[in-house]
Amino acid sequence: MKLLISNFKCLMAVFLIFIIQYLPRGIIFCFLFLWGSILDSQNTWIQTYTPFNADGYDVEDVVICSDSGYAINGLYFILDPFGGYEEWWGFLLKTDSGGNLLWAKKDTISFQYDNESLAVVETSDGGFLSAGSSPWSSYLLKRDSEGNRLWTLYNDFHVESMNKTSDGNIILGGVTIDNGYPGIRKITQEAEILWTQDFYLSGSGIGRINSVIQTSDGGFAATGYTSGNGFDLFVLKTNTDGDSLWTQIFDGFGQFDQGWSIIENDEYNIFVSGYFEGNNRTYYGVLIKLYIDGELIFLLNEENSEDYYLFGSMVEMLMVLH
């Protein structure tokens, strides 16, 4: 299986949502929904990559870099003769602005395979900080601009999401390993811990943050799942120190519901995408819009389709989200 990345120029885009549909044998299709958009086909390209001798790839993030190129992380896997997973490795690859491959590196963490790269940010020196996990540990891995490993740090915080903050530091969202609660941690670009906050939200407290951002007021907003009626989707807002200001919890159909992506538009509204799991084990995409104070504006979900799909990630494009 090859890794395929596409790029296009959007002249009048309002909203872009990636819909990821899982089909038999692990094949992934990405559907792009554009509301009020015009595409300029002269600025479209598609690239495929096979940097490793692998049977398949799962992509986590695509980061636009300071040189207008792209950094792409995730994992690649190798199957055994019976079609099961023999091993898998996290990776980071770098391209130029045209999508041409510059380098690709796997996450070699004390020679532990079965690891995966879950989040990545570009650092101010042009290098990259990746977060990943294996069955044995969570880790942070620092690379230079050419992909060479500089250092590795084993982590007591499982990271699912990373973003740079306005003061030049990095915010992490994930799970505090000691209690299993959803958590946020702020670190320097050299991985010095500035503070950590975990959040008991409901039920046993077990949960995870899948996406965290800094908001226009300097605080943070996050989404993920928490234990409740099964597992429920939550949206969380904090101040600049990570203290909770409000939480909204959404129980879909009493199964496994979670938020996958969160953004803020320049009208200070928050959008969350994710899914509700139905009793028939079908996953129904959900889109939530809230005011910055947590008041619900709307919740949209599609529960009449027999397809297995979810809202994966959101990108604000050239115009304002409404």
How many CA atoms lie less than 13 Å away from 41 in the CB half-sphere? 0
Residue that has been written with the tokens 């870099």 in this structure: 65
Asked whether residue 317 carries a pLDDT value surpassing 90, the answer given is: no
DSSP state of 240: T
Per mean pLDDT, which of 55-59, 187-191, 313-317 is the most reliable? 187-191
As a whole number of angstroms, the distance between CA 146 and CA 316 comes to: 29
What's at 11, amino acid-wise? L
Q: Which of 6-10, 48-52, 81-85, 119-123 has the lowest mean pLDDT?
A: 6-10
Structure tokens belonging to residue 7: 């790029």
As a whole number of angstroms, the distance between CA 17 and CA 304 comes to: 19
**Looking at domain 55-315, which CATH architecture does it have?**
7 Propeller (2.130)
**What does the chain come to in residues?**
322
What does pTM read for this prediction?
A: 0.84
State pLDDT tens for residues 234-290.
Answer: 999 999 999 999 999 999 877 889 999 999 998 999 999 998 887 777 788 889 999
Confidence (pLDDT) at 26: 29
Instruction: Compute φ and ψ for 25, nearest 5 degrees.
Output: 70, 20
Can you tell me the mean pLDDT for 70-95? Answer: 92
As a whole number of angstroms, the distance between CA 100 and CA 269 comes to: 36
As a whole number of angstroms, the distance between CA 214 and CA 211 comes to: 11
pLDDT band at 229 (very low <50, low <70, confident <90, very high): confident
Domain ranges, ordered by start, for the chain: 55-315
In sequence order, the 6+-apart residues with CB closer than 8 A to the CB of 118 are 60, 73, 90, 131, 132, 133, 159, 160
State pLDDT tens for residues 8-51.
Answer: 443 323 333 333 333 323 223 233 333 334 444 456 788 888 99
Percent of the chain with pLDDT over 90: 62
What is the tally of helices (H) and strands (E) in the chain?
0, 25
As a whole number of angstroms, the distance between CA 273 and CA 287 comes to: 5
